[in-house]
Structure formats: C-alpha cells, structure tokens
Amino acid sequence: MENKTESSNRSLKVVLGILVALLLATAFYTYNLYNDGKATEAQLREEKSVVLKDLNNMAEQYDIAIGENQSANAKLVEARERLKGLIDSLKVSENSVKSLWRYKKKFLALQEEMDFLLAENDSLKVENKLLATTLDSTKVQLEERTIFNDSLLAQNTELADIVETAAVLSTVNLKGFGVIVRSTGKLIPTERARRTDKIRICYTVPKNSLVVPGDKEFFVQVIDPKNNVLGLNQQIQFDEKVLNYSLVSKFNYENANLDVCEFISESDDAFEKGMYAVNVFSEGTLVSSSQFSLK
C-alpha cells in the first residue's frame, strides 16, 4: 500500500515538473516574442520616418522647380500634388512590413518620374532662354533698320507692324537710284542730282506658296532730303492712320519670284542733292525700306 502511494507521489511530482517547465518555456517565448514585436515596430517606425523624409525632400525639389518658372509646368504641378497625397496617406498608414513595402515601391516610381520631369524642365528653361535671346536680337535688328529723319518718318514708324502671318507678300532687294533717260529710251544710272531725269525704284517679290495668286499692289513712298513726298503725294487711310504715298505699284503675282520696277519723274524743280528714303507698304504695314543718295 505504501509503495503504491509513493509511486503516485513521484508521478505527480514529475507531472508538476513538466508543467512548470512548460510554463517557464511559454513565458520565455512570450517575453522574447513581445521584445521582438517591440523591436520590429520600432524599426518599422524608423523606416517609415525615412520614407516620409525622402518624400518631403522630393516635394521640396518640385517646389523649387515650380517656383523658378513664371508659368509653372503643368506636369510638375500635377506630380507634386500626387506626391503630397502619398505623404498624407503614409502618415496615417499602419506600421506593417506589407504597407511600408508598398509605399517604398511608390516612392521609387515617383523618384524615377521626378528625375525625368526635372530633366525635361531644365531643357525647357534652356530653350526659353535661347528663344528670348533670339527675340531680343531680332528686335534690335528691326529697330536698327527702321530709321527715319523727321516727324513724317516717325508717323510711318507707327504704321510699321511686324507681319504676323506667313500668308503675306514681302519684298527683298529694295533699291532706289537716279537714271538718265536717253531719247532712245535707254536708261543710264547716275548719282548726279542735276543729271537725274527720273528716280527708279526696283524690288523683288519672293515666292510664297501660301499667298493666293492674282493682282496685288504695294504703296511706294519716296521722301527727298527736304522731307517732301515725291510723285503723286496722295493720302490713303488705314484705320486711324494716314499714309502719304508716291505711287501705287501694281503687279500680277503667280506664285513665283517677281522683279518689279517703278519710276518717279521730277517735279518742276530738279531733284535735290542728299539722302532719299524709300518705303514700301502693304496696305498699312511697312514691308521694307531703303536709302540712296544723289550728289
């Protein structure tokens, strides 16, 4: 009987020992698991903070690029707004490996997009600077060519507008010079005022396939050294502007280069010595100008 009781006590002790061992093992495992969870959560928070910092740095780069342009690139603005939305979403997201990995993938994609957009924006800024330089140079050249000596020439300057469309006729090689007219009709160029019988005005109308063929006309204005308009000296009004012209140069345009010459005869007095100005107008727009002198 005693042997049976002792055997039962030993079995009970063994069971209790095993239970205590299991309890201690479970407590140790739970403690380690708790510590690991804390460490993992801290690591996730730190990585989340790094991603947020990188995203905010990207947003600052977009702000700088947009601020450098007077008219912001629409692509940059749209990309910045998407980036800010991602930042707001990440701030309230759960701290999990899956969630953080998803945001890291979006960050890498946005980083690649930002590199492309900023490179494109830099290229546009260079092109805009080159365009501005070209426009400034063109403006200076036009101002240097448009030179007049009196109030009448200043009035003509107000009529001179840059041709805004390509479908218009222009002139090149505008020249004015004095000629002696022989009885045979032969013309001899001369620079002597007292020997000049007529002033000859010649120019070339270059081919422009955008212009409809047909009868065309230019208004030619020749101004002598005393600021008198030679020839007809008639007036024509374009809107609120009035133009004094010497003759109307009419020609038939057939979509090909065309050479045109006109004459202005002397008045009662001989031609004056000095500098003459020649201006060609298409309606109220100055097409070209030139100068020549008679001695």
pLDDT in tens, 101-117: 566 666 666 666 667 66
**CA 27 – CA 58 distance, rounded (Å):** 46
DSSP 3-state of 271: coil
**To the nearest whole percent, how much of the chain has pLDDT over 90?**
30
Greater confidence (117 vs 162) lies with 117
At 191, list the tokens: 């620079």
DSSP 3-state of 230: coil
**CA 53 – CA 115 distance, rounded (Å):** 17
Answer whether 0.85 is exceeded by the pTM: no
Residues with Cβ within 8 Å of 282's Cβ and at least 6 positions away in sequence, in order, are 168, 169, 218, 219
What are the residues facing 233 on neighbouring strands? none
**CA 86 – CA 90 distance, rounded (Å):** 6
pLDDT band at 1 (very low <50, low <70, confident <90, very high): low
Nearest residue to 174 via CA among 282, 278, 294, 293: 278
At 17, list the tokens: 């020992």
Half-sphere exposure in the Cβ direction for 107 (13 Å, CA)? 21
> Is pLDDT of 198 > 70?
yes
The mean per-residue pLDDT over the stretch 130-159 comes to: 60
DSSP 3-state of 286: strand
- Determine the pLDDT at residue 215: 94
pLDDT band at 127 (very low <50, low <70, confident <90, very high): low
pLDDT band at 34 (very low <50, low <70, confident <90, very high): very low
CB count in 10 Å sphere of residue 93: 13
The mean per-residue pLDDT over the stretch 150-156 comes to: 53
- Determine the pLDDT at residue 265: 84
CA dihedral 233, 237, 241, 244 (to 10 degrees): -10
- CA 49 to chain CA mean position, Å: 40
Greater confidence (259 vs 97) lies with 259
The residue behind tokens 């218009």 is 168
**CA 22 – CA 122 distance, rounded (Å):** 68
pLDDT band at 258 (very low <50, low <70, confident <90, very high): very high
- Determine the pLDDT at residue 162: 43
DSSP 3-state of 278: strand
Question: How do the domains of the chain map onto residue ranges?
Answer: 2-131, 151-294
**Residue 229 identity:** V
> Is pLDDT of 20 > 70?
no
Which of 64-73, 142-151, 152-161, 275-284 shows the highest mean pLDDT? 275-284
**CA 110 – CA 38 distance, rounded (Å):** 31
CB count in 10 Å sphere of residue 222: 22
pLDDT band at 7 (very low <50, low <70, confident <90, very high): low
The answer to which of 94-103, 104-113, 241-250, 252-261 has the lowest mean pLDDT is: 94-103
pLDDT band at 159 (very low <50, low <70, confident <90, very high): very low
Q: Which fold has domain 151-294?
A: Immunoglobulin-like (2.60.40)
The mean per-residue pLDDT over the stretch 147-162 comes to: 50
Q: What angle do CA 40, 41, 44 make, to 5 degrees?
A: 85
> Is pLDDT of 161 > 50?
no
> Is pLDDT of 151 > 70?
no
DSSP percent split of the chain into helix, strand, coil, nearest 5: 50, 25, 25
Greater confidence (8 vs 233) lies with 233
**CA 146 – CA 156 distance, rounded (Å):** 10
pLDDT band at 95 (very low <50, low <70, confident <90, very high): low
The residue behind tokens 């009529």 is 159
Residue 211: φ, ψ to 5°? -90, 135
